[in-house]
Amino acid sequence: MHKRNEFRTIPFYGGSPEVPGYVIAAGLDVVVGTPGRLMKNITQGRILLDNIRTWVIDEAHQMMEDGFINDLDVIYKEIEKNVKKPPQVIMLSATFPPSIQKRIELFCESGHKYIDLVKDLASKTPKAVKHYVMELNAQDREEALTKIIKKFSGEKGKTIVFANTKHLVKGLAEQSPLRGVLSLHGDMMQMERERVFSKMNKGIAHTLFATDVAARGLDIPSIDLVVQYEPSKDVDLYVHRSGRTARAGRNGIVVSMWKTPEEIITLKKIERAAGVKFTKLIIEDDKVIETKEIVNFHQKEQELGNRGGQDLRRYGRGRAGMSNRPPRNNSNRRNDSSQGNDFEDGEI
């Protein structure tokens, strides 16, 4: 066992102040950083690589999908040039699809091993999560969202709402009638993101609207509810989104909204690959009601195919792809100090 503060560790990431040279010169045991900031410090000669023994790439799947593979390649070649013995390479991720496995081989020797602690997608979906779905047209989702959060998360619980575009995330956060609302998306600077994490962790904010920039590696404890305003685009993303809740022995809830043929197909894939059973939610007497009905999306897809193209066009008019429009104006939203908004102007 190692003692607390036994190792000297310094983070390097965009949006943070430059680490002073004298801090680096004093010696470091562990360097933690984003690819861009690490490359900058390596090429400037501020970080020496001759004693590197282990290289860890966390969230390897997402790193490579997001276009960081070239940066990682540059860093690895710099390490190889400076060390006498190749370092141990460790890559960590909740998912390693075949397409990513081929890229991983660029950084690993021929004898590398895959160690899968959970074996399949069904095992990677937390068992303590209840999975719900609610059939809603795009124009009805905003109003239903508030009811869902009040039912499953209440005033003190924490919720993450996922949408597929930053435009929709910003609009939903701005128009929400709830208090303690923040947004998280790819346009935000690192310092802004850290303020969001801090307020969620401290319980100052309770609802976070986010794109998938938040789905991997996000560490906000005690998330009670995850809402997919739009279903994730693939099975792996569903696993990562749902993994934000039911941590450290807690239970959690994931609610996915759906209506369009595309959403039916996506949820069918999740249903099969992740072994998820979706329970139907409805709104009755202005309240969200949990039914005992299990929704079978494989059957839903077959029904759509049997009804033919006319039915597909009818569904298409209500598709959630309308997410590029701003959410409708809500006269009850809290957007000024007289209504108790908890945050400074422009922060959301």
Residue 61 belongs to domain with CATH number: 3.40.50.300
**pLDDT for the residue numbered 122:** 54
The number of folded domains in the chain is 2
Q: Are residues 145 and 177 in the same domain?
A: yes
Q: Are residues 95 and 240 in the same domain?
A: no
**pLDDT for the residue numbered 159:** 97
CB atoms within 10 A of CB 13: 14
Q: Of the residues 75, 104, 133, which one is the last residue of a structural domain?
A: 104
In a domain? residue 126: yes
Q: Are residues 205 and 230 in the same domain?
A: yes
**pLDDT for the residue numbered 327:** 52
State the residue range of the domain holding 286: 121-339
Q: Of the residues 44, 77, 104, which one is the last residue of a structural domain?
A: 104
Q: What is the DSSP letter of 88?
A: E
CB atoms within 10 A of CB 231: 25
Q: Residue 56: CB partners within 8 Å, gap ≥ 6? A: 90, 91, 92
Q: Is the dihedral of CA 258, 263, 267, 270 positive or negative?
A: negative
Q: Are residues 218 and 79 in the same domain?
A: no
In a domain? residue 55: yes
Helical packing angle, 35-43 and 69-82, nearest 10°: 40
**pLDDT for the residue numbered 190:** 79
Query: Which tokens sit at 2?
Result: 């190692």
Helix residue ranges, H only, 183-293? 190-202, 235-242, 261-273
Q: Are residues 278 and 333 in the same domain?
A: yes
Q: What is the DSSP letter of 2?
A: P
Q: Are residues 74 and 184 in the same domain?
A: no
Q: Are residues 146 and 188 in the same domain?
A: yes
In a domain? residue 283: yes
Whether the model clears a pTM of 0.85, i.e. scores above it, the answer is no
Q: Are residues 95 and 143 in the same domain?
A: no
Q: Of the residues 104, 135, 162, which one is the last residue of a structural domain?
A: 104
Helical packing angle, 261-273 and 297-307, nearest 10°: 150
* Residue 249 burial (10 A CB sphere; 0-12, 13-18, 19+): exposed
Q: Are residues 178 and 310 in the same domain?
A: yes
Task: Evaluate whether 207 touches 176 at the Cβ level (below 8 Å).
Answer: yes
- 10-residue mean pLDDT profile of the chain (348 residues): values are 76 85 91 92 92 92 84 92 92 81 78 76 70 95 96 93 94 94 88 90 95 73 94 85 84 95 92 90 96 93 71 43 46 37 32
Q: Are residues 319 and 183 in the same domain?
A: yes
In a domain? residue 344: no
Query: Which tokens sit at 59?
Result: 């969230």
C-alpha closest to that of 258 among 161, 146, 135, 155: 135
Q: Are residues 145 and 223 in the same domain?
A: yes
**pLDDT for the residue numbered 306:** 74
